[in-house]
Structure 1
């Protein structure tokens, strides 16, 4: 019944600048949704990457990135969302504030300790994150590397002349050259078999193929 009511409300509501994208949610990861088939990056928050690990107080590593994605899916997957666009990021994704049942998604995720305030872009959730940290909610029970620092670390070649990224994904072993479409967003996790290459020939001989774009 809710899905029908939400769909009817979306169809009959007037077009406005405050409701740029409206539809049902498919969770991609902790801070990224597909809403009505459009990729949406939640404004003002930053969640651990899917392959990111965290460390308990006892020094045990655990897959916090995958855990966050699963928790966010439990909360929002299949729900109706209304998103107001703030910007477009460098990957062409819509950056937006989203709400579900009138609840601010970004604030909710930061409050639960499933994401951090992305202070490089907004201080909107700064106090919300501090409240979650004080109460040891979610990720704040562990030692967590800042997601932006984690991405930067995985994107830094060991040598300036060895900057080809050998990524492993569901599509197989693919290498990305500097300047290609997905180069910047691709991280290298050597623990899972991904690696850096100095030449395309070296990458091909090792079993990687070049990204199509």
Structure 2
């Protein structure tokens, strides 16, 4: 057997073994769908707790609990309003939440339903959450109707979290940056 033929054979064998290992890894990582039913506690407008396990509503992003928005020239607690809306939706009957993936914080990503009502979509439709990878049609309807967040101005939840993290990481609130700009520090 020539050197080229051996290299070719070894290459094919290596590729086949890697493909087999990849398929096995996918199979092992393929989690069955988890179904959660019963009582849920709303942490904020897109996070639930059930007996200590956190669940994140898939495809939406709602204001953080302490987030403020603007409506009619005044601040209003949109984060608290989003949580209150989720509490109201959950109180309407028997809720089932289903999901098979987790986010980077270990929360189960779920779609929750109460009968025929998709609670995730309802949060977006009522303007208490923005579409995040899903529910674009519901967001368009909420925006057109000026429902919830769309009745005024608001900072997107992901931008609010990013700014809050920046402020948390800079305990002096940007004082050093201001001093640098006022002086010749580089």
Compute the TM-score of the two structures, normalised by the length of structure 2: 0.68
Q: Write out aligned runs for 1:32-181 (5 A).
A: 32-35=47-50, 37-57=52-72, 59-77=73-91, 79-118=93-132, 122=133, 124-157=134-167, 163=169
Moved over 4 A (4+): none
1:78 deviates by: 7.7
Q: Does 1:23 align with 2:52?
A: no
CA distance in 2, matches of 1:20, 1:131: 29
CA displacement, residues 162-213 of structure 1 (integer Å, 9 cap, x when unaligned): x37xxxxxxxxxxxxxxxxxxxxxxxxxxxxxxx27xxxxxxxxxxxxxxxx
Between 1 and 2, higher relative CO (CA 8 Å, sep ≥ 6) is seen in 2
Secondary structure, in 3 states, of the residue corresponding to 1:108? helix
RMSD, matched Cα? 2.4
CA distance in 2, matches of 1:51, 1:60: 16
| Long gaps (5+) in structure 1 | 1-16, 165-195, 198-213
Secondary structure, in 3 states, of the residue corresponding to 1:92? coil
- Please say if residues 85 and 123 of structure 2, whose CA atoms lie closer than 8 Å, have aligned partners that are also in contact: no
Compute the TM-score of the two structures, normalised by the length of structure 1: 0.60
CA displacement, residues 43-73 of structure 1 (integer Å, 9 cap, x when unaligned): 000000011001124x211211112212221
Q: Is the radius of gyration larger for structure 1 or structure 2?
A: 2
Q: CA 1:30 to 1:22, structure 2 compared with 1: closer, same or farther past 3 Å?
A: same
1:35 deviates by: 3.5
Give the length in aligned residue pairs.
Answer: 143
- Please say if residues 86 and 97 of structure 1, whose CA atoms lie closer than 8 Å, have aligned partners that are also in contact: no
| Long gaps (5+) in structure 2 | 1-31, 173-186
Q: Report the structure, 1 or 2, having the larger helix content.
A: 2
Secondary structure, in 3 states, of the residue corresponding to 2:159? helix
